[in-house]
């Protein structure tokens, strides 16, 4: 008789993996985060098994790719979801072993609602990495200006540092454009949307190519621009953004919407939002959602932007 499939939770660190099996009393076991060890372990798992891990800044990639290649149903879970889940089920401590057991339990109980991991292409993976690094460099530039801008005697050094950071950003942007041109991204169609520039266009096209989104609403939810309800009984709470998706993509969409709000096409919608009593930030978020839905429709249907189809009512 073939062994039954198992649900496996893995806590990932740079050099080591902690492995736990759902429903098992066995203490989670450590294993090297290395290809040879992982392949040997995967070969011993029963067919049909499922494996889950949390995203850990790239340390999980080797395990996720090898598990998927081995034919296992693989999930890469949002770390915030796991933290909330652990608190909800009364887990008090936090160690690598405990985390592995929580992941296994989460997979066993909530696996039906999770999205399977699909490895990105090398170009998609590099684009994602460059976008994250670019966000870090831009943040560093802002911190330099804030921390050194008011200090006497450092103006020249600050200007030199900012020029150097700008050169790094420009080099990243050139590489992003190269990847967009050599890959199968439909970024050029996405960039026909007024308000979506080259950087945002590449980021959105990369998202649409990687993630199987059902519709524009799913795209909004994935990026974290969906309003989160907070109602109870007769009380209607204030809506806030879920902010569950990639923060850098939300930032790029917000900046694109801020620029779009000043154009003749999008400014009427912006003004309508303000007239309804919304703040400038809320109005900009509404335009950001419009940009995202429009870009998704263009990508999905292979069309280009038609400004006459934008409704402001």
Residues 6+ apart with CB under 8 A from 79: 54, 55, 56
Separation in Å, CA 28 to CA 6, 55, 98 = 14, 19, 8
- Write down the pLDDT at residue 295: 95
Asked if the structure places residue 81 within a domain, the reply is yes
Per-residue confidence (pLDDT) for residue 282, from 0 to 100: 95
Residue 2 pLDDT level (bands cut at 50, 70, 90): very low
- pLDDT at site 310: 78
11 and 109 fall within a common domain: yes
Tokens representing 296 are: 């998704």
Long-range contacts of 299-305 (CB under 8 A, 24+ apart): 299/186, 299/189, 299/190, 299/204, 299/205, 299/208, 300/208, 302/186, 302/189, 303/189, 304/189, 304/192, 305/189, 305/192, 305/193, 305/194
- Residue 235's pLDDT is 66
Residue 304's pLDDT is 87
Whether 264 contacts 271, CB under 8 Å:
no
12 and 84 assigned to the same domain: yes
Examine the domain organization and report whether 101 and 27 are in the same domain: yes
Q: Of the candidates 113, 145, 174, which is a domain's last residue?
A: 113
pLDDT of residue 1: 43
**216 and 302, same domain (yes or no):** yes
Same domain, 105 and 128: no
Residue 277 lies in a domain: yes
Asked whether residue 196 is assigned to any structural domain, the reply reads: no
pLDDT tens-place string over residues 82-101: 999 999 999 988 899 999 99
Flag whether 178 is in a domain.
yes
Query: Once rounded to an integer, what is the mean pLDDT over residues 252-268?
Result: 96
In this predicted structure, what is the pLDDT of residue 311? 67
Q: What is the pLDDT of residue 186?
A: 66
Q: Which positions ≥6 away from 179 have C-beta within 8 Å?
A: 123, 126, 127, 130, 185, 202
- Which of 241, 224, 288 lies closest to 261, judged by CA? 288
**pLDDT at site 238:** 75
Same domain, 262 and 178: no
In this structure, is residue 203 part of a structural domain? Answer: no
CB atoms within 10 A of CB 181: 11
Residue in the structure block whose two tokens are 């020249």: 156
Q: What is the pTM of this model?
A: 0.83
Same domain, residue pair 13 and 108: yes
Domain end, chosen from 113, 130, 160, is at: 113
249 and 175 within one domain: no
Q: Nearest 5°: CA angle at 136, between 256 and 164?
A: 95
pLDDT tops 60 at residue 27:
yes
* Torsion (CA) 146, 151, 153, 155 in degrees, nearest 10: 20
- Residue 290 located in a structural domain: yes
Looking up residue 18, the CATH number of its domain turns out to be 3.30.420.40
What local confidence, expressed as pLDDT, does residue 24 receive? 80
Q: Is the pLDDT of residue 40 over 50?
A: yes
| Averaged pLDDT of the chain | 90
Distance CA 252, CA 254 (A): 5
Please tell me whether residues 225 and 178 are part of one structural domain: no
Query: In the listed set 89, 113, 137, which residue is the last one of a domain according to the structure?
Result: 113
Q: What is the pLDDT of residues 158-200, one digit of tens each?
A: 999 999 999 999 999 999 988 888 765 567 888 889 999 999 9
Q: Would residue 75 count as lying in a domain? A: yes
Check whether residue 166 and residue 226 sit in a common domain.
no
Same domain, 131 and 226: no
Q: How many domains does the chain have?
A: 3
* Residue 199, domain member (yes or no): no
CB 4 within 8 A of CB 97: no
Q: What is the pLDDT of residues 209-252, one digit of tens each?
A: 888 899 999 999 999 999 887 666 666 667 788 888 888 999 99
Query: Are 221 and 179 in a shared domain?
Result: no
Q: Which residue range is the domain that position 253 belongs to?
A: 212-230+241-313
pLDDT in tens, 53-79: 998 878 999 999 999 999 999 999 999
């Amino acid at each position: 008789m073939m062994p039954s499939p198992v649900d496996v939770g893995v806590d990932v660190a740079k050099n080591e993996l902690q492995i736990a099996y759902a429903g098992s009393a066995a203490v989670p076991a450590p294993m090297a985060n290395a290809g040879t060890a992982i392949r040997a372990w995967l070969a011993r798992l029963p067919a049909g098994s499922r494996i889950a891990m949390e995203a850990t800044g790239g340390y999980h990639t080797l395990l996720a790719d090898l598990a998927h290649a081995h034919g296992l149903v693989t999930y890469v879970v949002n770390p915030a979801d796991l933290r909330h889940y652990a608190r909800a089920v009364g887990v008090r401590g936090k160690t690598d072993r405990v985390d592995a057991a929580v992941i296994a339990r989460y997979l066993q109980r909530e696996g039906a609602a999770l999205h399977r991991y699909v490895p990105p292409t090398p170009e998609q993976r590099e684009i994602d990495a460059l976008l994250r690094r670019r966000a870090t460099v831009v943040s560093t530039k802002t911190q330099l200006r804030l921390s050194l801008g008011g200090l006497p005697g450092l103006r020249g050094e600050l200007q030199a540092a900012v020029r150097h950071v700008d050169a790094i950003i420009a080099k990243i942007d050139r590489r992003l454009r190269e990847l967009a041109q050599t890959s199968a991204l439909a970024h050029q169609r996405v960039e026909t949307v007024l308000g979506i520039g080259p950087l945002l266009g590449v980021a959105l096209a990369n998202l649409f190519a990687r993630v199987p989104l059902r519709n524009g609403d799913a795209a909004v939810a994935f990026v974290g621009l969906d309003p989160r309800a907070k109602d109870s009984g007769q009380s209607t709470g204030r809506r806030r953004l879920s902010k569950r998706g990639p923060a850098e993509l939300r930032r790029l969409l917000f900046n694109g919407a801020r620029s779009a709000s000043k154009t003749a096409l999008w400014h009427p919608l912006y003004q309508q939002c303000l007239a309804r009593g919304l703040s400038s930030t809320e109005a900009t978020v509404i335009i950001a959602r419009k940009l995202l839905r429009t870009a998704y429709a263009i990508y999905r249907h292979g069309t280009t932007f038609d400004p006459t189809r934008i409704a402001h009512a």
